[in-house]
Amino acid sequence: MAQISQDNRGLRLVVRYSVLCLIAAIFSFPLIFMVVSSLKPSEQLLADAHSFRALLPVGDISLNNYFDAFKRAPVALFVFNSVLVTGVTVIASLALCSVAAFAFTFVNWKGRDLALTVILATLIVPFETIAIPLLLEASKLPWIGLDGITWGWLNSYRVQIVPFIADGLTIYLFVQYFKDLPAELIEAARVEGASWFAIYRRIVMPLSGPVLATAAILKFLAMYNQYLWPIMVTQEEQYRPVMVGLQYFFQLNRAWGEIMAYLSLITVPVLAFYLYLQKAFIASIASTGVKG
Amino acid sequence: MAGITLKGLKKSYGTAHVIKGVDIDIEDGEFVVFVGPSGCGKSTLLRMIAGLEDISAGELSIGGKVVNDLPPKDRGVAMVFQSYAIFPHMSVRENVGFGLTIAGASKAEKAEKVANAARILQMEHLLDRRPSQLSGGQRQRVAIGRAIVRNPQVFLFDEPLSNLDAALRMDMRLEIGKLHQQLGATMIYVTHDQVEAMTLADKIVVLKDGMVQQIGSPMELYHDPANLFVAGFLGSPAMNFLDVDVTAVNGSKVLVSNAALKPVEITAKVGGFSAGGKAKLGIRPQYLTPVDSGGMLQGRIALTERLGSETVVDLTLGDGTRLIAALARDAVFPIGADLGLTFDAAQAHIFPQ
Ligand SMILES: Nc1ncnc2c1ncn2[C@@H]1O[C@H](COP(=O)(O)OP(=O)(O)OP(=O)(O)O)[C@@H](O)[C@H]1O
Ligand SMILES: [Mg+2]
């Protein structure tokens, strides 16, 4: 008996790890291909594409594509713009949506369920359908800046940030998570004299590490991959993000090596963010003892 | 001073009426226990007092002030929850001092009060631990510590001991009793456990279906239950009820009998009996004594439980009714044998049917 179950466990482990390795391989192939290709001249890149050499840094390897990419487009500016817009939006969105979800979950007020339903209903509205009206609105909005009141938000960072701060999906994620927090924790804090804001800051947020990480990743990806909206609202290069910058490499002569170099570069912030969150995620679970 | 008055208190969830008009007067410093079957509204009533549930109708005052619309933090109450509700991300010290932190107390004041609470509850050595490193009993102490540190006028406990094992429950029960004496605060305590209710309470409130059945001291309720429900709810094993025929009524004296019971005169505490009618006769198992001959009741032994200090005998009467007798001291009764029993008519209760 014992012998059999032991063998079983070993076999199960082998199967489990094989499956995990396979999945990991499937997901890493494109990344490896991208980085490897970015080191090859375009002709060799295309020639290698049909063999396993596509995944190996062999042949005429150099960083030339990277230099050329920088020459062709203001890569640093695009990355800066995207990181700025994405970072500000992620932080503002987590703050705003978690407060909203808190009010929807813990505070009793008239019309609460209706309001939440309306917000959740926005999840099924694709952005493309509201893009044009939104553009018209944005072009007319006032802004108070250093030079007094100006009209129109086009060609700015704010027009890429503000529309995406409040978002139904993020609110929904927080609401779902908050519902699973033990209600008695909130009640105990209320009886102990805590205001709603104190409960939010001292009880709910410290226990929300897992959902903060999840919502941050989703928001980060959505914002970093923005293409349609920035192309509509930024005519000036100064405010353009990375995905719009990709266009520069498809004009005139198309150089696949440079494209791969550019893509490798703009992937760096994403990887850095993932690694950071992974650490924060594990730390938050370890310190609270609340399982996500 | 923080007496509490509930006047016609009601609570409904939509069309579900959970609390149906409750009047209770609680004096300052009193220890009041709410008991009742599961779902009768004990927790709801307690949460209404805490301010965690809205009051649908009626008036609630604490310390002479109507607090219906005050949020929990302005009612001067502390609450201990069944699940302890300790904040998992804070150390024991931070948990106990939470109310003081919120109130903006100085570091020194907080340190002193937390240390004091820890001393009362004998948990000084636990202060730097995380809740996940505590046993159930220790968590319960932390929850109580968090409640006493603000020195509130009123303590509310919702089945605080139900997650503990029997031995620990008894320890904590004694400690809560001691705490009440030390602090002299008003305490309201919800429980399923009769022993907790009987030993801790100055006053017991028996609830059923959102209505008060009886309010009184433990002994009043035990000796003078106002109705069948209270009579059957308090006491262990539960009171025996026999369906009897009323043969004569003379003032408060009611003569009853049935096929298995010889005629006996009982003094009724309530009215509503008439000769030729039916009634329920209640006899506590402890008041039955075996006799060799001439017993008032005759039954066949179906089961016996020897607990050492007493022997619980389960009998079937001639008319098929089940009767439990709790006989003092250890004794051996053969199963299947006939047993004659007698009881003190002054300790029996009669309720109209
Ligand atoms: N939010 C709610 N909506 C509708 N009904 C509710 C709600 N909360 C409680 N109830 C109902 O109110 C009644 C009383 O509940 P309560 O929790 O006060 O019972 P209890 O006496 O504390 O029971 P227990 O001893 O099991 O804890 C129950 O029938 C319950 O179903
Ligand atoms: Mg309850």
Q: Is B30 helix (H, G, I), strand (E, B) or coil?
A: coil
- The secondary structure of residue A202, as a DSSP letter, is I
> Chain A within 8 Å of B52 (Cβ-Cβ)?
yes
Most confident of A84-88, A237-241, B315-319, B322-326: A84-88
The answer to whether B60 touches B67, Cβ cutoff 8 Å, is: yes
Cα B210 to Cα B22: distance, rounded to the nearest angstrom = 8
Contact list, A206 vs chain B (CB under 8 Å): 89
Same domain, B48 and B114: yes
Cα B311 to Cα B291: distance, rounded to the nearest angstrom = 15
What is the distance between the terminal CA atoms of chain A, rounded to a whole angstrom? 36
Question: Which CATH number goes with the domain that contains A81?
Answer: 1.10.3720.10
**Does B132 sit in the ligand 1 pocket, CB within 6 Å?**
no
Cα A164 to Cα A220: distance, rounded to the nearest angstrom = 11
Q: At what angle do helices B136-148 and B107-120 cross, to 10 degrees?
A: 130
Buried b (16+ CB within 10 A) or exposed e, B317-346: beeebebbbbbeeeeebeeeeebebbbebe
The pLDDT tens digits for A213-251 are 999 999 999 999 999 999 999 988 999 999 999 988 888
Question: Domain range for residue A106?
Answer: 74-250
Query: Going by CA atoms, what residue is nearest to atom 4 of ligand 1?
Result: B13
The pLDDT tens digits for B210-238 are 999 999 999 999 999 999 999 999 988 89
Q: Quickly tell me which residue has 């150099």 as its tokens.
A: A62
- Number of folded domains that form chain B: 2
Same domain, B229 and B245: no
Q: What average pLDDT does the segment A156-175 reach? A: 95
In percent, how much of chain A has pLDDT > 70? Answer: 95
Residues belonging to chain A: 292
Q: Which of B260, B259, B234 is nearest to B349 (CA)?
A: B234
> Chain A within 8 Å of B182 (Cβ-Cβ)?
no
Q: What pLDDT is attached to residue B250?
A: 87
Residue A263 lies in a domain: no
CA distances to A172, B87, B161, B285 from B83, rounded to whole Å, are: 27, 11, 9, 35
Q: What pLDDT is attached to residue B251?
A: 85
Q: What pLDDT is attached to residue A147?
A: 81
Same domain, B149 and B71: yes
Cα A190 to Cα A195: distance, rounded to the nearest angstrom = 7
Q: What pLDDT is attached to residue A198?
A: 96
Q: Kindly report which listed range (A70-84, A183-197, B293-307) carries the lowest average pLDDT score.
A: B293-307
Residue A55 lies in a domain: no
Does A291 score more than 70 pLDDT?
no
Query: Going by CA atoms, what residue is nearest to atom 28 of ligand 1?
Result: B39
Same domain, B204 and B316: no
Cα B57 to Cα B59: distance, rounded to the nearest angstrom = 7
Contact list, B83 vs chain A (CB under 8 Å): 182, 184
**Does B106 sit in the ligand 1 pocket, CB within 6 Å?**
no
Token reading at A211: 């959902």
Partnered with residue B324 across adjacent β-strands are B314
> Chain A within 8 Å of B14 (Cβ-Cβ)?
no
The answer to whether A97 touches A167, Cβ cutoff 8 Å, is: yes
Q: Is A190 helix (H, G, I), strand (E, B) or coil?
A: helix
Question: Which CATH number goes with the domain that contains B271?
Answer: 2.40.50.140
**Per the CB < 8 Å rule, is A188 touching B146?**
yes
Q: Considering only the beta carbons, identify the residue of B47, B83, B102 that sits closest to A192.
A: B102
Residue A170 lies in a domain: yes
Q: What pLDDT is attached to residue B1?
A: 59
Same domain, B78 and B169: yes
Which of these three, B233, B259, B286, is where a domain ends? B233
Which of these three, B213, B233, B253, is where a domain ends? B233
Residue A273 lies in a domain: no
Token reading at A184: 């008695």
In the reported structure, the alpha carbon of residue B191 is separated from the centroid of ligand 1 by a whole-number distance in angstroms of 14
Q: Is B39 helix (H, G, I), strand (E, B) or coil?
A: coil
Residue A4 lies in a domain: no
Residues 6+ apart with CB under 8 A from B58: B6, B7, B8, B9, B10, B21, B22
- The secondary structure of residue B239, as a DSSP letter, is P
Cα B307 to Cα B309: distance, rounded to the nearest angstrom = 6
**Does B16 sit in the ligand 1 pocket, CB within 6 Å?**
yes
Rounded to the nearest integer, the mean pLDDT of chain A is 90
Token reading at B100: 């003081």
Q: Looking at chain B, which residue has its C-alpha nearest residue A208?
A: B89
Same domain, B148 and B257: no
Same domain, B197 and B270: no
In the reported structure, the alpha carbon of residue B5 is separated from the centroid of ligand 1 by a whole-number distance in angstroms of 22
Contact list, A192 vs chain B (CB under 8 Å): 73, 78, 98-99, 102, 146, 150
Q: What does the radius of gyration of chain B's CA atoms come to, in whole angstroms?
A: 24
Q: Considering only the beta carbons, identify the residue of A198, A207, A290 that sits closest to B102.
A: A198
Shortest Cα distance, chain A CAs vs residue B146, angstroms: 8
**Does B15 sit in the ligand 1 pocket, CB within 6 Å?**
no
Token reading at B90: 């804070």
Same domain, B137 and B256: no
Q: What pLDDT is attached to residue A286?
A: 66
Same domain, B291 and B211: no
- Number of folded domains that form chain A: 1
Question: Which CATH number goes with the domain that contains B25?
Answer: 3.40.50.300
In percent, how much of chain B has pLDDT > 90? Answer: 72
Residues 6+ apart with CB under 8 A from B329: B309, B310, B311
Question: Domain range for residue B188?
Answer: 4-233
The pLDDT tens digits for B9-65 are 999 999 999 999 999 999 999 999 999 999 999 999 999 999 999 999 999 999 999
β-strand pairing of B278-283 with B349-352? antiparallel
> Chain A within 8 Å of B132 (Cβ-Cβ)?
yes
Residue A152 lies in a domain: yes
Token reading at B352: 């109209």
Cα B188 to Cα B196: distance, rounded to the nearest angstrom = 12
Does B299 score more than 60 pLDDT?
yes
The pLDDT tens digits for A123-145 are 999 999 999 999 999 999 988 88
Same domain, B24 and B150: yes
Residue A32 lies in a domain: no
Same domain, B34 and B89: yes
Which of these three, B175, B208, B233, is where a domain ends? B233
Q: What is the ipTM of this complex?
A: 0.84
Same domain, B213 and B251: no
Sign of CA dihedral A31, A35, A37, A42: positive
Shortest Cα distance, chain B CAs vs residue A102, angstroms: 17
